[in-house]
Amino acid sequence: MRGGGGRGALEGKAAVITGAATGIGRATAVLFARAGARLTLADARGEELARTAGEVRDAGVGTMTVGGTVETIELDRWDLAQDVNVRAMYLVSRAAIPAMRRAGGGSIINTASVSAFRGSTTRPSHAYAASKGAVLALTRAMAASYGRDRIRVNAICPGTIRTRLTADIIERVEREVAEGVDQRHADRGRRRRARRRDLRAAQPTNTPPDGCSSSPVK
């Protein structure tokens, strides 16, 4: 599949993008197409993948999030995270590397996540974090093994990106930030009013001390 437009940074290059139906995968496919790459798109969600293909032609779930802790997540959901995020990467690499070697080299870019480095107390996702940690370990091992074949293997670690899978997370954070801003504004307003009261209380008056009298000067 070829994207439209003129020559770009990836003109003459070929790329295989997995998870291309939604999210990061779809955005990557559109970006690569605009840069002139020839693309092969893969995803288990055929209908949504077809929409990505349409966008690529016009231009020229990406991330599988499985929530829960090791105590709460069901085994089949744990296996799903590993299958989508690690096993699929192994299968694609296993199929692609011989062809890349015959072609004289190439580049593999794996999508990991900042979840491989840090956890969350508000929305734990142990299976997802474990799978993305495995992606980083696999990337390092593959880079060491295939560098001699002129095959570069790297990983990117995106933070939270707004997709339909993460919309609730981002909306919650945005609400918390907005509420915090509103609260800070309210606190500043209360402090300003308190300062004004203090200043009025501290202003001198013309009331004479006890036992004294005053009269206007004629």
* Predicted pLDDT of residue 4: 47
Question: Measured between alpha carbons, how far is 81 from 103 in angstroms, rounded to an integer?
Answer: 32
Give catalytic residues, as residue numbers.
Answer: 128
Closest CA to 113 of 83, 156, 167: 156
> pTM of this prediction?
0.54
* Predicted pLDDT of residue 165: 56
Question: Which segments in the chain show pLDDT lower than 50?
Answer: 2-6, 61-65
Residue 154: give the domain boundaries. 14-167
Position 204 in a domain:
no
Residues 184, 86 within the same domain: no
* Predicted pLDDT of residue 109: 92
Question: Measured between alpha carbons, how far is 68 from 99 in angstroms, rounded to an integer?
Answer: 39
Position 2 in a domain:
no
Residues 149, 56 within the same domain: yes
CB 125 within 8 A of CB 65: yes
